């Protein structure tokens, strides 16, 4: 029996998933670099999210580790339950711990997608985000290669991350955007892309909804998460944690639905 989704459901990439998702960036060592030292706990948290709490939206990226978290997800959850959406992101390189650089070369993006497919054990990435638009590469070229791989059946739906309303309105003229992922929390309250996504009917996925845990430590998770959800029914959130007890607290905080 599938547990009821925390905070209700939202349709992303053609699938009804829990509005409360799970972000996997923190399932790494400091600097988002390498496997978490306690790998067994990382596996346990992923399984707890899906099998105990009914979280059906798992967000990751090839840059987490780099590459280690996609392997972790496969080990924890494969074969993936039919109702679960595994979303990943491509287009960032990691020169060193704590360092991130967009790389939108079309050949690199194609290689990223192929590698993510192998690590996750999938024939198609149901939701693949462009992790960042690389300002040094033509925006059209970056979108075109993902669109080509969508036509090839290797990507189901395309998303955008860390983008402006202008980016969104530009891309949506050429292809559907399945989701936009930007930072949103009670510290970083204003993102005009929230309204753009509402106007265009695009799901908005709030990353860092607890500001990397800072807000949860100060206020507890309930008030910050309820505020994020209250910004619109088109909004989902993907908090992250490495601790099973903390995940229990996050789920309990939204169990009665958004405020």
Catalytic residues: 64
Find the distance separating the first CA and the last CA of the chain, reported in whole Å.
Answer: 27
Which residues make Cβ contacts (< 8 Å) with residue 144, sequence separation at least 6?
106
Contact 113, 81 (CB under 8 A): no
* Residue pointed to by tokens 């638009």: 133
Among 140, 103, 104, 146, CA closest to 125: 146
Q: How far is CA 185 from CA 180, 210, 221, in A?
A: 15, 6, 11
Beta strands in 125-253 (DSSP E): 125-130, 155-161, 179-183, 204-207, 235-237
């Amino acid at each position: 029996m599938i547990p009821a989704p925390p905070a209700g459901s939202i349709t992303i990439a053609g699938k009804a998933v829990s509005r409360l998702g799970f972000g996997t960036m923190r399932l790494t060592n400091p600097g988002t670099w390498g496997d978490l030292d306690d790998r067994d706990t990382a596996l346990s948290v992923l399984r707890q999210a899906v099998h105990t709490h009914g979280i059906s939206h798992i967000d990751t990226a090839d840059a987490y580790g780099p590459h280690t978290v996609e392997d972790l997800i496969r080990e924890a959850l494969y074969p993936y339950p039919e109702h679960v959406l595994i979303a990943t992101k491509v287009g960032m390189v990691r020169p060193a711990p704590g360092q991130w650089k967009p790389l939108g070369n079309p050949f690199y993006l194609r290689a990223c997608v192929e590698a993510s497919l192998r690590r996750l054990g999938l024939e198609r990435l149901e939701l693949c985000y462009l992790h960042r638009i690389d300002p040094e590469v033509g925006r059209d070229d970056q979108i075109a290669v993902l669109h080509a791989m969508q036509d090839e059946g290797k990507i189901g739906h395309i998303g955008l991350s860390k983008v402006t309303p202008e980016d969104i309105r530009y891309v949506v003229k050429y292809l559907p955007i399945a989701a936009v992922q930007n930072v949103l929390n009670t510290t970083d309250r204003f993102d005009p892309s929230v309204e753009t996504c509402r106007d265009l009917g695009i799901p908005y996925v709030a990353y860092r909804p607890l500001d990397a845990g800072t807000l949860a430590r100060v206020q507890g998770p309930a008030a910050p998460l309820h505020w994020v959800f209250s910004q619109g029914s088109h909004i989902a959130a993907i908090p992250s944690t490495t601790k099973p007890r903390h995940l229990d607290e996050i789920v309990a905080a939204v169990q009665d639905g958004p405020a």
